[in-house]
Amino acid sequence: MVNTVGRLSGRRALITGAAGGIAQETARHFAREGAQLLLTDLDAAALAPLVDELQSAGAVTVTASADLTNRSDVEDLIACGEKELGGLEILVTCAGGYTSYANFEEIEEEDWDGTIELNLKTVYLCCKAVIPLMKRAGWGRIINIGSLAGRSTSAGTSPAHYATAKAGVSILTQYIAKDVAEFGITANTIAPGTTSTDRVRRVLTPDRETQFVARTPVGRLAEPKDIAGVITFLGSNESSYITGATLDVNGGRLMLT
Ligand SMILES: NC(=O)c1ccc[n+]([C@@H]2O[C@H](COP(=O)([O-])OP(=O)(O)OC[C@H]3O[C@@H](n4cnc5c(N)ncnc54)[C@H](O)[C@@H]3O)[C@@H](O)[C@H]2O)c1
């Protein structure tokens, strides 16, 4: 049953990297709050179980494959939002990540370029392409996913190219926020701490987890729902006076680093 009185009722949302843990949980939250969804990942086939779940719960959900480092893929994606949903008012950019840890001097140029493209260029391309639709709607919410890694070097767990790109997401989002405020559009960054997604679970050793938790006042890693709840708030009317902010969602770890 579609929720017609939810906090996102009547809104149409694009969520990128939707096969990933934070994005999947965000899609569930958005659907519960009444949003219609355009979900995208490199291979949209990977989204089938999530789409079944959301559609069974009554949510309007469409999917599209896209490599978001590629401008024409992004433009096709936004055109899909216009065609299938009639527009888009919310963008959540979850696509991102890095392949492996390396110290700065070990980062090869190709890996540098790829990581900056995946974490920063994708945000630039998606924001640029979606803003005209938000302007047309006279309302918009851009929620870009940064990282604790982009907030402090002393978090000390991520490679320099990834951290640099995520720091770039925060300042890029501020520039966007400044330019689009007059059109009823806000733009904010969320900087999660280590979040217990399947990907993180696959690489995190018990020792590493113990170290992270010891440096986190709240005393645990984030669950995807901890991040998705904040994204949902930023996507709603309730956040209308917040723009250009980076919200640190890390259980207090940043203040101890
Ligand atoms: N999980 C964490 O601990 C954590 C912490 C801080 C920030 N983040 C950030 O949050 C976001 C989501 O994290 P997650 O752990 O849920 O990620 P995840 O790795 O589970 O999902 C990322 C998704 O992005 C997709 N993707 C990769 N390259 C793409 C491309 N070129 N075009 C389109 N899609 C592409 C992947 O297929 C994947 O499904 C990422 O940006 C990540 O950097 C995660």
Please state, rounded to an integer, the average pLDDT across all residues of the chain.
96
Burial class of residue 63 in the structure, from the number of CB atoms within 10 Å of its CB (0-12 exposed, 13-18 middle, 19+ buried): buried
Q: Given ligand 1 and candidates 28, 29, 41, which is best to mutate, with the most ligand atoms within 8 Å of its CB?
A: 41
- Residue 117 belongs to domain with CATH number: 3.40.50.720
Question: What atom of ligand 1 comes closest to residue 119's alpha carbon?
Answer: 41
Average of per-residue pLDDT across 26-50: 97
Half-sphere exposure of 211 (CA within 13 A, CB side): 9
Within 10 Å of residue 223's Cβ, how many Cβ atoms? Answer: 15
Question: What atom of ligand 1 comes closest to residue 46's alpha carbon?
Answer: 39
Q: Picking from 47-51, 136-140, 150-154, 173-177, which range would have the lowest pLDDT averaged per residue? A: 150-154
How far is the centre of ligand 1, averaged over its atoms, from the C-alpha of 246 (Å)? 18
Instruction: Output the furthest CA–CA distance in the chain (Å, rounded).
Output: 54
Share of the chain above pLDDT 90, in %: 91
Q: Which residues does residue 247 pair with via DSSP β-bridges, in sequence order? A: 190
Average of per-residue pLDDT across 159-185: 98
What pLDDT was estimated at residue 34? 97
DSSP letter, residue 18? T
Residue 132 inside a domain? The answer is yes
Residues noted as catalytic? 162
Residue 2 inside a domain? The answer is no
Residue 53 inside a domain? The answer is yes
pLDDT band at 1 (very low <50, low <70, confident <90, very high): low
* Cα(14)–Cα(83) distance, integer angstroms: 13
* Cα(233)–Cα(188) distance, integer angstroms: 11
Q: Is the CB of 67 under 6 A from ligand 1?
A: yes
> Could you read off the pLDDT of 77-128 as tens digits, one per residue?
999 999 999 999 999 999 999 988 899 999 999 999 999 999 999 999 999 9
Residue 69 inside a domain? The answer is yes
What pLDDT was estimated at residue 256? 87
Q: Is the CB of 117 under 6 A from ligand 1?
A: no
What pLDDT was estimated at residue 155? 66
Q: Given ligand 1 and candidates 75, 93, 147, 216, which is best to mutate, with the most ligand atoms within 8 Å of its CB?
A: 147
pLDDT band at 3 (very low <50, low <70, confident <90, very high): confident
How far is the centre of ligand 1, averaged over its atoms, from the C-alpha of 119 (Å)? 9
What pLDDT was estimated at residue 86? 98
Query: pLDDT at residue 154 above 90?
Result: no
Residue 26 inside a domain? The answer is yes
What pLDDT was estimated at residue 99? 86
Residue 7 inside a domain? The answer is no
What's the total number of domains in the chain? 1
What pLDDT was estimated at residue 156? 64
Residue 218 inside a domain? The answer is yes
With the C-alpha atoms ordered 75, 77, 78, 82, is the resulting torsion angle positive or negative?
positive
Task: Please choose, from the candidates 119, 129, 49, the residue with its C-alpha nearest in 3D space to the C-alpha of residue 87.
Answer: 129
How far lies 121's CA from each of 69, 206, 241, in Å?
Answer: 6, 34, 27
Task: Please choose, from the candidates 150, 151, 149, 131, the residue with its C-alpha nearest in 3D space to the C-alpha of residue 141.
Answer: 131
Angle at 36 between CA 31 and CA 42, to 5 degrees: 90
For tokens 């945000």, what's the residue? 123
Residue 105 inside a domain? The answer is yes
Q: Is the CB of 227 under 6 A from ligand 1?
A: no
> Could you read off the pLDDT of 14-24 as tens digits, one per residue?
999 999 999 99
Higher pLDDT, 1 or 98: 98
> Could you read off the pLDDT of 193-221 as tens digits, one per residue?
999 999 899 989 999 899 999 999 999 99
What pLDDT was estimated at residue 235? 98
119 lies in which domain range?
12-251
Average of per-residue pLDDT across 176-193: 98
pTM over 0.95: yes
